[in-house]
Amino acid sequence: MDKNLQQYNIVIVDDEPIVTSNLRTLLRLENYPSPNIFNSPIEALEYIRNNKIDLVISDFFMPNMNGIEFLKEVKHLSPRSTLILLTGYADKENAIKAINEVGLYRYLEKPWDNEDLLLCIKNGLERSDFIAQQELEQLRDDFIATLTHDLRTPLLAAIQTLKFFVDGTLGELTEKQRTFLETMILSNQDMLGLVNALLEVYKYESGQLVLCKDNFVFKDLIDQCSREVDSLLVHKNLKLIINGFSNEKIYGDKQEIKRVIANFLGNAIKHTHQNGEIRILADFNDEDLTVSVEDTGIGIPQNDIPKLFKRFSQGTGTKRSTSTGLGLYLSRQIVEAHGGKVWLESEVNVGSKFKFSIPREKSLIS
């Protein structure tokens, strides 16, 4: 059971005090918290109306209200709690009716077997936990869907509008105005990047990522990535060296692996000074492919190295408002989803080597 036993709130209702006190003793012996016992269903309802409960054990024949009427009301007040009915032998039909009408979890005939009852309580509480968990997940899904829409849509719209200004589509701008608007575009894009990264993390953690694997020439992907960072390289006058790739194929999800390379490469560019050098090296053997993205940048203190592939880890060397600390974490998830691993070597003021290897799988056959 997820919860500590003591956190459960169990309610027992039977008009015969001997029954309720027996049950209380039984539960105490099994380390359950003392149940709330009532000899009248009306009083029990009053309690349930004002308290959070997990499980109800109710008698069938009671004055004022029978067990089914009572449990119906409980269901209404506390839909998630587990309902157990204790019946006399002759009440079997009623019990079955209750299963359908009030979503009764189980019924037990009096006199019940203690072992049966305890098992039924244990399973019933697990069921309550499970339902609560499902509801939480549903809430989270709904929240993420809203987040996606409500955060991304206005951001995309703002970026597009700002671009119209910068383009001159909406009239002439002074140089100063243009600079401000360009800065606004960049910060909006950073924010969009953060929102997207959070959504990615969610996708991985909720198991929603399905890899679309195919055979592809790895070098094509590297070329694509390097084209995409070309302007950044030029801007910092960084030299990019690509080595060790020919026409080898690998079997994997191209888009996802591209994300890993793009993350490594983006980080390398970000953390390397002007005029530095970045290398992307490949080592293919029969079993797997190892890729290394190496830079001559600021490097990473040894203490930070084990933390960097963890969620939200930004290292101690650099702090930038645009940093999410999610890129390496996501990269690790992607590589591990391919059955591979990630690691890094680094020396402060010398540079870093971020590496991953993935099995080549079917690529050998084709």
- Closer residue to Mg ion (CB): 67 or 327: 327
Residues 239-278 that bind ligand ADP (CB under 6 A): 263, 267-268, 271
How many other C-beta atoms lie within 10 A of the C-beta of residue 302?
10
Q: Which stretch binds ligand ADP (CB under 6 A): 43-51, 148-156, 214-222, 314-322?
A: 314-322
Among 327, 333, 335, 363, binds Mg ion (CB under 5 A): 327
Residue 298 interface partner, choices ligand ADP, Mg ion, none, CB cut-off 5-8 Å depending on type: ligand ADP
Give the CB-side neighbour count of residue 135, counting CA atoms within 13 A.
Answer: 8
Residues in the chain, total: 366
Binder of ligand ADP out of 86, 102, 155, 298 (CB under 6 A)? 298
Q: Residue 169 has which token pair?
A: 């589509």
| Residues ≥6 apart with Cβ < 8 Å to 198 | 147, 324, 326
Q: What are 337-343's contacts with CB under 8 Å, separation 24+?
A: 337/204, 337/209, 337/211, 337/256, 338/211, 338/252, 338/253, 338/256, 338/257, 340/288, 342/260, 342/309
Residue 308 engages ligand ADP in binding (rule: CB under 6 A): yes
The residue at minimum Cβ distance from Mg ion is 327
Of positions 289, 297, 333, 357, contacts ligand ADP by CB under 6 A:
297
Interface size with ligand ADP, residues (CB under 6 A) = 22
Q: Is 229 in the site for ligand ADP (CB under 6 A)?
A: no
Residue from 198, 313, 345, 359 in contact with ligand ADP (CB under 6 A): 313
Check residue 324 for interaction with ligand ADP (CB under 6 A): yes
CB distance 353 to 264 below 8 Å: no
For residue 63, give the amino acid letter: P
Per rule CB under 6 A, is residue 352 in the interface with ligand ADP?
Answer: yes
Is residue 205 within 8 A of residue 326, CB to CB? The reply is no
Instruction: Give the shortest CB-306-to-ligand ADP separation in angstroms.
Output: 12
Read off the tokens for 18: 């001997």
Residues that bind ligand ADP (CB under 6 A): 263, 267-268, 271, 295, 297-298, 300, 308, 313-315, 317-318, 323-329, 352
Interacting residues with Mg ion (CB under 5 A): 267, 327
